[in-house]
């Protein structure tokens, strides 16, 4: 307590300075161009990790890169499709439906300012999408041949290096073996990416990455990097070929019940965006080593209404392998016939992780036949998986109905239809054990100032899909029934009220719940914005769900209601053309009937300096946090090197500081550097296991070069 009281007093004084400082700076109302990463999408990423039960890294850092292409080649509002609007990621599902309905009813847009006349479009929405839409189309792009697109266009090369300065235990020799370290490689993280693009229609390139602790041009990685990825992707080549993918790609069918390998948001601050969607096929450029396909795929259009998407993927995957002598016969010692789980981390640092690398082959094939009309679509989908080794899970009560074996087939039907101001959507799927899962929803505008989204989900405990990822409280699309209500209200100019309420139950046991369980959650956000100057929101979020809690003085877990309550105040203010000021305060608590209530808060202050006409710019943050444990944590998006951002959890007692410096004074070259430091005042060390440093600090340094040619 002697440490905590002065620390809390210091952070309280910092809170007051953050809230009071901008009040003396309200003078100019100009704005400046910013990186193509909208604040709303940053907040949706925070929501995604906040809903996870365990700490994890975010490795889909290229999720925003297409916005840069849309900024250079804006979408034509009179020609844009629903899937393209969905890929843009800046409009809610209701807003997309209203835009398409407006265009159909009036026969097209005559001026870009008509966006303000669409139901559910406030000034903030219009301002957010204006850089990415227009009423012009580039006819020359659609007359270009393959050779022209392959040899002309935009080329980008990224070279990135980063490391932590504190030495983790995995890099130190052990007492048992002083001549070696647990990690086979050095602490440097390396990244190389090349990408060629022609408008929004063609992309090819490669990505290579080495994680910290992995070998480089030696040992298990004699060919250099630990992970390589390459792709060639063609989009909208002509009336017949809508998409063609070679190499690495992602595929998404329907609402994700049987297939969703791309990145998808869950419940978020965009309360009426609850649909999976977008194009069935996309190029893959991220470094997540698990969630992609490798092979060939295409989408072909036949006539005015029929689209056929097919793909074949055959790739190696990591898995915990089981030796045959453990289960059958010692005569075959050393060979593998089955595995106990898929490994998703993509890390190959220790002997065990290296042994699991590429241990099994995963063959996947799929087909989707979609009947597309002006008002909607109906699609039939099928996916088949074949593993070269059988999956045999370690027996647990909660995983009794999980998939086991070496082959699995799924089929589904998905639909979407617009009628006046109503949009219906959904998907119903079956796995080859006979289990049927379904998701159905409704989007509507109740009034010019009120948007509503409702969806129902029923995922049986025995539904099985290896690559399914529908929206829900938990991942995997199984063992969950629920109903969600989301609403957006525009009570007055410059004001937005958004809210959702979600209620669910799990018919069977889960990993952290030793009995059937249930829960509910609500969220309220009130936003005020002033054009080109100010954006403020106040948010309340409360979740109550049943989880295991260890009884006092006992080894028995009890299923009890755990409440998580969080309150957030966020302010972003454009001081002048060069300086933006962002402040945030988080407060939260978690409580249950058995353990002591835990509370905490976090606060940060950002300064973004991007002067027009100067080659130098920087972004910086200082943050303080004081929470009782990891159970009270706050995820906060951190600006970083281009397409290399962080979303770390703030918890325990401590502070965090970072500064990113960018230089663009050399033609076609951008040089960036980052320094970030985490300090904990209460625990003795940061990290656990082989990642433990033995110190209360963790310091990251990174540098990146981007060459455009």
DSSP secondary structure string for all residues of 14-63? HHHHHHHGGGG-----------S--HHHHHHHHHHHHT-SS------TTT
Q: What is the DSSP letter of 252?
A: B
Q: Is residue 307 part of a domain?
A: yes
What pLDDT, on a 0 to 100 scale, did the predictor assign at position 58?
54
Question: Are 293 and 435 part of one and the same domain?
Answer: yes
Q: What is the DSSP letter of 511?
A: T
| Distance linking the first and last C-alpha atoms of the chain | 58
What pLDDT, on a 0 to 100 scale, did the predictor assign at position 484?
97
What pLDDT, on a 0 to 100 scale, did the predictor assign at position 121?
84
Task: Please name the residue ranges forming H helices in 463-520.
Answer: none
List of E strands, 575-611: 579-591, 598-609
Question: Are 323 and 435 part of one and the same domain?
Answer: yes
Q: What is the DSSP letter of 516?
A: -
Say whether pLDDT at 454 is over 90: yes
Q: Return mean pLDDT, the chain.
A: 87
Question: Are 325 and 442 part of one and the same domain?
Answer: yes
Say whether pLDDT at 492 is over 80: yes
Q: Is residue 208 part of a domain?
A: no
| Interstrand relation of 281-283 and 241-251 (parallel, antiparallel or unpaired) | antiparallel
Q: What is the DSSP letter of 689?
A: G
CB half-sphere exposure, 22, CA atoms < 13 A: 24
Lowest mean pLDDT among 107-116, 263-272, 460-469: 263-272
Burial of 530 (0-12, 13-18, 19+ CB in 10 A): middle
Give which of 702, 673, 671 is closest to 157, Cα–Cα: 671
Q: Is residue 471 part of a domain?
A: no
Say whether pLDDT at 370 is over 90: yes
Question: Are 263 and 374 part of one and the same domain?
Answer: yes
pLDDT band at 23 (very low <50, low <70, confident <90, very high): very low
Q: What's the total number of domains in the chain?
A: 2
What pLDDT, on a 0 to 100 scale, did the predictor assign at position 330?
40
Say whether pLDDT at 162 is over 50: yes
Helices (H) and strands (E) in the chain, counts: 9, 33
Question: Are 110 and 246 part of one and the same domain?
Answer: no
**Structural domain span for residue 127:** 74-137
Q: Is residue 420 part of a domain?
A: yes
Give the end of a domain, one of 426, 446, 466.
Answer: 446
Lowest mean pLDDT among 22-36, 436-450, 635-649: 22-36
Give 649's strand partners. Answer: 635
% helix / strand / coil in the chain, to the nearest 5? Answer: 15, 45, 40
pLDDT band at 530 (very low <50, low <70, confident <90, very high): confident
What pLDDT, on a 0 to 100 scale, did the predictor assign at position 618?
94
Q: What is the pLDDT of residues 274-326, one digit of tens each?
A: 888 778 999 999 888 888 999 999 999 999 999 999 999 999 999 888 866 54
* Alpha-carbon span 226 to 357, nearest angstrom: 10
Give which of 438, 428, 512, 443 is closest to 474, Cα–Cα: 512
Q: Can you say whether the dihedral through the CA atoms of 645, 40, 623, 565 is positive or negative? A: negative
* Alpha-carbon span 317 to 403, nearest angstrom: 17
Give the predicted TM-score (pTM) of the model: 0.87
Instruction: Please calculate the CA angle 291-292-297 and round it to the nearest 5 degrees.
Output: 155
Say whether pLDDT at 20 is over 70: no
Say whether pLDDT at 334 is over 70: no
Give which of 698, 708, 541 is closest to 162, Cα–Cα: 698
* Alpha-carbon span 51 to 59, nearest angstrom: 16
The H or E element spanning position 88 is helix 82-88
What pLDDT, on a 0 to 100 scale, did the predictor assign at position 61?
60
Say whether pLDDT at 362 is over 50: yes
Q: What is the DSSP letter of 648?
A: P
* Alpha-carbon span 645 to 75, nearest angstrom: 26
Residue scoring higher pLDDT (107 or 164): 164
Provide CB contacts within 8 A for 312, sequence distance 6+: 295, 296, 297, 364, 365
Give the end of a domain, one of 99, 121, 137.
Answer: 137
Q: What is the pLDDT of residues 133-154, one digit of tens each?
A: 888 766 555 678 889 999 999 9
Question: Are 267 and 392 part of one and the same domain?
Answer: yes
CA distances 35 to 131, 292, 641, Å, are: 12, 27, 11
Which residue is listed with tokens 């990505």? 207
* Alpha-carbon span 559 to 544, nearest angstrom: 12
Q: What is the DSSP letter of 262?
A: S
CB neighbour burial string for 82-94, b if at least 16 within 10 angstroms, e if fewer: bbbbbbbbbbbbb
Give which of 291, 345, 245 is closest to 467, Cα–Cα: 291
What pLDDT, on a 0 to 100 scale, did the predictor assign at position 22?
39
Which residue is listed with tokens 């977008």? 278
* Alpha-carbon span 442 to 427, nearest angstrom: 13
Give the end of a domain, one of 446, 478, 513.
Answer: 446
Give which of 265, 323, 260, 267 is closest to 292, Cα–Cα: 260
What pLDDT, on a 0 to 100 scale, did the predictor assign at position 412?
98
Question: Are 118 and 244 part of one and the same domain?
Answer: no
Say whether pLDDT at 33 is over 60: no
Which residue is listed with tokens 């993280």? 189
Q: Is residue 43 part of a domain?
A: no
Q: What is the pLDDT of residues 658-682, one digit of tens each?
A: 999 999 999 999 999 999 999 999 7
* Alpha-carbon span 238 to 569, nearest angstrom: 49
Overall residue count recorded for the chain in this entry: 709
Helix (H, G, I), strand (E, B) or coil at 140: helix
Q: Is residue 635 part of a domain?
A: no
What pLDDT, on a 0 to 100 scale, did the predictor assign at position 475?
85
Residue scoring higher pLDDT (188 or 30): 188
CB 649 within 8 A of CB 662: no
Question: Are 258 and 397 part of one and the same domain?
Answer: yes
Question: Are 301 and 420 part of one and the same domain?
Answer: yes
Question: Are 302 and 421 part of one and the same domain?
Answer: yes
CA distances 698 to 378, 644, 662, Å, are: 52, 18, 23
Residue scoring higher pLDDT (329 or 540): 540
Q: Is residue 586 part of a domain?
A: no
Instruction: Please calculate the CA angle 474-519-435 and round it to the nearest 5 degrees.
Output: 50
Q: Is residue 385 part of a domain?
A: yes
Question: Are 307 and 417 part of one and the same domain?
Answer: yes
Mean pLDDT of the 591-614 span? 93
Mean pLDDT of the 464-486 span? 94
Lowest mean pLDDT among 121-130, 337-346, 592-601, 605-614: 121-130
Say whether pLDDT at 523 is over 80: yes
What pLDDT, on a 0 to 100 scale, did the predictor assign at position 279?
87
Look up the CATH number of the domain holding residue 123: 1.10.150
Q: What are phi and psi of 21, to 5 degrees?
A: -60, -45
């Amino acid at each position: 307590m002697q440490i905590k009281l002065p620390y809390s007093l210091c952070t309280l004084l910092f809170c007051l300075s953050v809230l009071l400082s901008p009040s003396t700076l309200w003078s100019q109302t100009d704005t400046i161009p910013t990186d193509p990463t909208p604040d709303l999408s940053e907040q949706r990423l925070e929501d995604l990790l906040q809903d996870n039960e365990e700490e994890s890294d975010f490795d889909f850092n290229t999720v925003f890169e297409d916005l840069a292409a849309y900024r250079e080649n804006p979408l034509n509002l009179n020609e844009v499709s629903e899937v393209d609007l969905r890929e843009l990621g800046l409009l809610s599902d209701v807003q997309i439906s209203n835009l398409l309905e407006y265009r159909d009813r009036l026969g097209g847009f005559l001026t870009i300012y008509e966006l303000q006349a669409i139901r559910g479009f406030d000034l903030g929405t219009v301002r957010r999408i204006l850089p990415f839409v227009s009423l012009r189309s580039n006819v020359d792009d659609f007359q270009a041949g393959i050779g022209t697109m392959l040899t002309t266009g935009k080329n980008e090369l990224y070279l990135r290096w980063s490391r932590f300065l504190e030495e983790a235990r995995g890099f130190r020799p052990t007492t048992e073996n002083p001549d070696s370290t647990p990690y086979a490689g050095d602490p440097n993280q390396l990244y190389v990416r090349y990408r060629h693009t022609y408008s929004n229609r063609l992309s090819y390139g490669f990505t290579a990455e080495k994680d910290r602790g992995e070998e480089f041009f030696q040992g298990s990685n004699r060919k250099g990097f630990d992970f390589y990825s390459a792709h060639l992707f063609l989009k909208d080549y002509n009336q017949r070929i809508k998409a063609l993918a070679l190499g690495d790609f992602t595929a998404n069918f329907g609402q994700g019940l049987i297939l969703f390998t791309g990145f998808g948001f869950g419940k978020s601050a965009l309360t009426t965006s609850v649909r999976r969607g977008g194009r069935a096929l996309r190029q893959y450029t991220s470094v997540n080593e698990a969630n992609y396909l490798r092979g060939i795929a295409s989408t072909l259009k036949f006539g005015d209404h029929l689209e056929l998407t097919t793909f074949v993927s055959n790739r190696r995957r990591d898995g915990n392998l089981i030796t045959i002598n453990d289960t059958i016969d010692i005569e075959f010692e050393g060979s593998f016939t089955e595995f106990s789980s898929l490994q998703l981390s993509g890390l190959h640092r220790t002997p065990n992780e290296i042994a699991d690398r590429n241990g099994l082959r995963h063959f996947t094939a799929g087909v989707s036949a979609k009947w597309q009309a002006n008002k909607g679509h109906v699609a039939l989908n099928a996916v088949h998986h074949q593993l070269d080794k059988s999956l045999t899970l370690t027996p647990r009560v909660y995983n009794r109905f999980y998939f086991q074996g070496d082959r699995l087939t799924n089929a589904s039907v998905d639909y979407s239809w617009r009628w006046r101001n109503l949009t219906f959507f959904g998907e119903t799927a079956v796995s080859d054990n006979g289990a049927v899962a379904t998701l159905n929803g409704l989007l509507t505008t109740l009034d010019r100032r009120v948007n509503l989204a409702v969806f129902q989900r029923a995922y049986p405990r025995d539904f099985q899909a290896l690559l399914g990822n529908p929206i829900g409280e938990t991942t995997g699309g199984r063992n969950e029934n629920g109903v969600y209500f989301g609403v957006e209200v525009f009570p007055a100019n410059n004001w937005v009220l958004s809210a959702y309420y979600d209620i669910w139950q799990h018919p069977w046991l889960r990993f952290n719940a030793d009995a059937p369980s249930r829960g509910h959650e609500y969220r309220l956000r009130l936003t005020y914005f002033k054009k080109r100057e100010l954006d403020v929101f106040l948010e309340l979020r409360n979740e109550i769900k049943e989880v295991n809690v260890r009884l006092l003085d006992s080894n028995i877990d009890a299923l009890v209601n755990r409440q998580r309550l969080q309150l957030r105040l966020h302010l972003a203010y454009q001081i002048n053309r060069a300086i933006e000021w962002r402040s945030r305060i988080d407060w939260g608590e978690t409580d249950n009937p058995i353990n002591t209530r835990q509370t905490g808060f976090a606060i940060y202050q950002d300064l973004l300096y991007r002067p027009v006409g100067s080659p130098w710019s920087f972004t910086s943050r200082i943050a303080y946090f004081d929470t009782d444990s990891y159970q009270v944590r706050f995820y906060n998006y951190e600006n970083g090197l281009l397409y290399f951002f962080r979303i770390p959890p703030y918890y325990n007692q401590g502070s965090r500081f970072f500064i990113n410096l960018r230089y663009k004074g050399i033609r076609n070259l951008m040089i960036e550097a980052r320094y970030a430091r985490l300090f904990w005042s209460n625990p003795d060390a940061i990290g656990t296991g082989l990642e433990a440093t033995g110190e209360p600090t963790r310091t990251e340094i990174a540098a990146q070069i981007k060459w455009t040619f």
